Amino acid sequence: MYKQLLSVLLASSFLNLQNVYAATDFSATIEYIGSVKSVTPMTITVEKNGASTQCQLPCDVGSEDSFTNTTPDTIVVKMKLETADQAELTLTPKSKMHFENQDGKFIPVLDVGVTHVEVPETTSGEKKFKFFIKTKSATMGVRGTEFVVQESESGETQINTLKGEVGMAKDLSEFNEEKGKSPKWTKIAAGSAGYWSRGESRIKEVKEFNRDSFRKQLKEKHPSFMKAVEKRLELQQKAREVHRDNKQVKRQSNRDGRQERRDERRENRPMNNGSSKEKMFENKKPSHSSGHRDDIKKVREQYFTPKFERKKDNGSNYLQQQKRR
């Protein structure tokens, strides 16, 4: 009976741990960053388990949740990554997105609309994909880049890479690379655009585009969206500059500290008789009398002249004596 009770308790605690893990690890925060102001709080429509509710921003959503940007302006979705970085997805009004938990990964899926995605670059040089985003047609893998995804009602996916590179494939399984085999995903480098049609097994087309013209077109079509994107990018650039300046100041401070310790060790370095320079001048401080020059000369001969050059009392050179022997 005790064994059965213990097994029931362990099973219940395991289920509770699973619930806590799902609640803490698979979550994202949605914030309103638009320029349109309102007296009442901004809300979005969140659908969970078939039930639709209004969630006041900022709002936390979890796995298997779906939401629609019902605000009159732009929102941003902030997601924590496994590398302790944060991915930011900026969404236009009327965009719809939901989340999936696939192979232990919390993946956003853009159902319809436009999103600007920025993922910090990997500083360790690791080539592993650390962020994925899906549409109804394709899956994108990211290491660290900036790109724009557009999904139409008919399921046509367009991705424009602005910085770095993005991998594009049919589903998540094609990103499992094997040694000695070519990857199944297609690389979309900076300045290139990829197109994928719904129901197709391979990418439709990859072609180059002008990034300045593309930004201008987006600004004409979604002015508030691009304004919010540019503002966020400017703030992030300033934060990176402050971080870089702080690192340089810290590095210079460490250099100065090491130099001071070197100088201190050099000043207190023992002489031939085991005493330091400070102790030497404390014990052998020349007097300011008529014979102070002779005292200084004796100190110099005793402490600063190499042994083989020191002269004995009889005036003969020590090195010459050694040669005679």
Question: How would DSSP label each residue in 29-66?
Answer: EEEE--S---SSPPEEEEEETTEEEEEESSEEEETT-E
Q: Are 164 and 121 in contact (CB under 8 A)?
A: yes
Place of tokens 């890479």: 161
**Three-state DSSP class for residue 308:** helix
Q: Start-end ranges of CATH 2.60.120.1440 in the chain? A: 29-233
What is the share, in percent, of the chain residues with pLDDT greater than 90? 17
Asked: is 29-233 a CATH 3.40.50.720 domain? The reply is: no
Instruction: Tell me what the mean pLDDT of segment 14-40 comes to.
Output: 61
What integer pLDDT is reported at residue 307 of this predicted model? 52
pLDDT tens digits, residue range 135-175?
A: 998 999 988 888 999 999 888 999 999 988 999 999 888 88
pLDDT tens digits, residue range 55-108?
A: 888 888 887 788 998 888 888 888 887 665 788 899 998 899 998 887 777 889
pLDDT tens digits, residue range 2-12?
A: 445 445 444 44
Looking at the predicted structure, is the pLDDT value of residue 324 above 50?
yes
DSSP state of 175: G
What pTM, to 2 d.p., does this model score? 0.66
Q: How confident is the model at residue 316 (pLDDT cuts 50, 70, 90)?
A: low
Taking the C-alpha atoms of 6, 7, 10 and 14 in order, what is their torsion angle to the nearest 10 degrees?
Answer: -170
CA–CA separation, 295 and 287 (whole Å)? 7
The whole-chain average pLDDT of the chain stands at: 77
What integer pLDDT is reported at residue 113 of this predicted model? 93
Instruction: Tell me what the mean pLDDT of segment 211-227 comes to.
Output: 89
What integer pLDDT is reported at residue 85 of this predicted model? 73
Contacting residues for 40 by C-beta, under 8 A, at least 6 apart: none
Instruction: Tell me what the mean pLDDT of segment 129-134 comes to.
Output: 88
Q: How far are the Cα atoms of 19, 27, 169, 187, 261 from residue 23, in angstroms, in the given order?
A: 6, 7, 29, 34, 51
pLDDT tens digits, residue range 169-210?
A: 998 888 887 776 778 889 999 999 999 988 888 888 899 999
DSSP state of 311: B
Q: How confident is the model at residue 303 (pLDDT cuts 50, 70, 90)?
A: low
Q: Are 95 and 115 in contact (CB under 8 A)?
A: yes
What integer pLDDT is reported at residue 15 of this predicted model? 41
**Around 43, how many Cα atoms within 13 Å sit in the side-chain half-sphere?**
11
